Amino acid sequence: MDSYPYKDIDWKIVCQSKTSLDKITWWYYKEAKEYYLFVMSYEHNKIFILNALSGKYIKSMGGLGDKVGQFDELVDFCIYEDYLMVLEKGNHRVQVFSLPNLQFIGFIGELELMNPSCIEAVKLKKDNNEYCCLLIGDNLDNKPSRAKCFYKFIFELNNESIYDVICNRIEPENDEKILSITSIKYDPQFDNLYIVDNFSKNIKIFNFNCKLKNIILNNFFKGQPGNIQFIFDKKKGLIFIGDFSRIDNFIHVFDRKMNYYMTLTSNKVLINNCYALLNHNNNKILYSCDDNNCILANRLYKLSTDTQIKTKSSNNSSMIKEYGVIGMLGSAIAAAMFLKR
């Protein structure tokens, strides 16, 4: 594709921090009917928790160490049901906490993980029982010549314990091998396990049983491919893939079958791989962080296919349906709330 149909993102500042901000995820607190943002700081090995709409600081957790509730080289986190899963590279583990009280539940992967990079949580059902499956990318020794691996940890958990953990290690080889895992994401509707290979600059798609289905987007990215995020509504939805360099920030948008829609751009310098999509009921909001340690937000309105943008490809012209985006968030979003260290 010679040129992309671009859409500029018009951000609203939610709040500003006194420390670096590197990852974002969200959780809906049902009892309080509020959205929480969890914001990770690599620099301070902390996680800050805010009200997602007002930017109000709620609390923080962490600090450098290897004890319960302490972190060493935070790299990623995710939410599963009412549990926070925190991935540490330095301590080679996942810490699991219940929400909203952040009660420690247990560790995952202390013996298996070497150089973990990303995490995804999936719900599995079998014989009327529910299981949590953690998919964790591991870059091992960081040598590009060596294929990287990912893990599947399947277990049951409640507010007191993690139990019956089963671990499977997958290290694809030959044409399937992964040279650097940046992001991992699973779409159960199509049984697609997406793995971003940062070194090869492509996306490898496996099924849940780890059989390679396809390798896509070779020679597509202008910078380094980043995190994958979903907005799904039953069988419909969109897939967002970050594309970051020192100069440009892009978020490419595809439909659920990986047909290209458009590219979101920003005049702000965004932190590499730091963006999240709040997707709950009618609330769809894109969050990111910029180089001034501001948390930014942009509301995604109802998806629209009414507008079409003409774009050139290497062979012919095609009509790309525009994603009907983006308006300002309401006055409920406040600026200048500083996070505490």
What confidence tier does 314 reach under pLDDT thresholds 50, 70, 90? very low
Higher pLDDT pick, 287 / 247: 287
Query: Which of 298, 263, 219 is closest to 24 using CA atoms?
Result: 298
Question: For 106-130, what is the mean pLDDT?
Answer: 95
Neighbours of 233 (CB within 10 A): 11
What distances in angstroms separate CA 207 from CA 185, 186, 193, 260, one per listed residue?
Answer: 11, 9, 5, 21
Query: Residue 13: its pLDDT value, please?
Result: 95
6-8 and 260-265 as β-strands: parallel, antiparallel, unpaired?
parallel
Tell me the pTM: 0.87
Question: What are the sequence ranges of the domains in the chain?
Answer: 20-274
Query: Residue 304: its pLDDT value, please?
Result: 46
Query: Residue 3: its pLDDT value, please?
Result: 62
For the domain 20-274, what is the CATH superfamily, name and number?
TolB, C-terminal domain (2.120.10.30)
The pLDDT of residue 256 is above 80: yes
| Averaged confidence pLDDT in the chain | 86
C-alpha 338/C-alpha 341 separation (Å) is 9
The pLDDT of residue 145 is above 80: no
Query: Residue 294: its pLDDT value, please?
Result: 96
Each residue's pLDDT tens digit, 156-213:
999 999 999 999 999 998 889 999 999 999 999 999 999 999 999 999 999 999 999 9
Q: Are 134 and 85 in contact (CB under 8 A)?
A: yes
Tell me the two tokens of residue 159: 């507010």
Higher pLDDT pick, 220 / 304: 220
Question: For 96-100, what is the mean pLDDT?
Answer: 98
Q: Is 186 left (phi over 0), alpha (psi -120 to 50) or beta?
A: beta
What confidence tier does 321 reach under pLDDT thresholds 50, 70, 90? very low
Radius of gyration of the chain (CA): 19
Query: Residue 141: its pLDDT value, please?
Result: 82
For residue 49, list its beta bridge partners: 38, 59
Query: Which of 206, 251, 207, 210 is closest to 228 using CA atoms?
Result: 251
Each residue's pLDDT tens digit, 201-241:
999 999 999 999 999 999 999 999 999 999 987 667 899 99
Q: Is 247 left (phi over 0), alpha (psi -120 to 50) or beta?
A: alpha
Q: What percent of the chain has pLDDT over 70?
A: 87
What confidence tier does 5 reach under pLDDT thresholds 50, 70, 90? confident
What confidence tier does 302 reach under pLDDT thresholds 50, 70, 90? low
Question: For 21-42, what is the mean pLDDT?
Answer: 96
The pLDDT of residue 147 is above 80: yes
The pLDDT of residue 1 is above 70: no
Neighbours of 173 (CB within 10 A): 8
Neighbours of 257 (CB within 10 A): 8
Question: Using CA of residue 304, residue 13, residue 85, residue 146, what is the dihedral sign?
Answer: positive
CA of residue 100 relative to chain centroid, distance = 20
Higher pLDDT pick, 204 / 328: 204
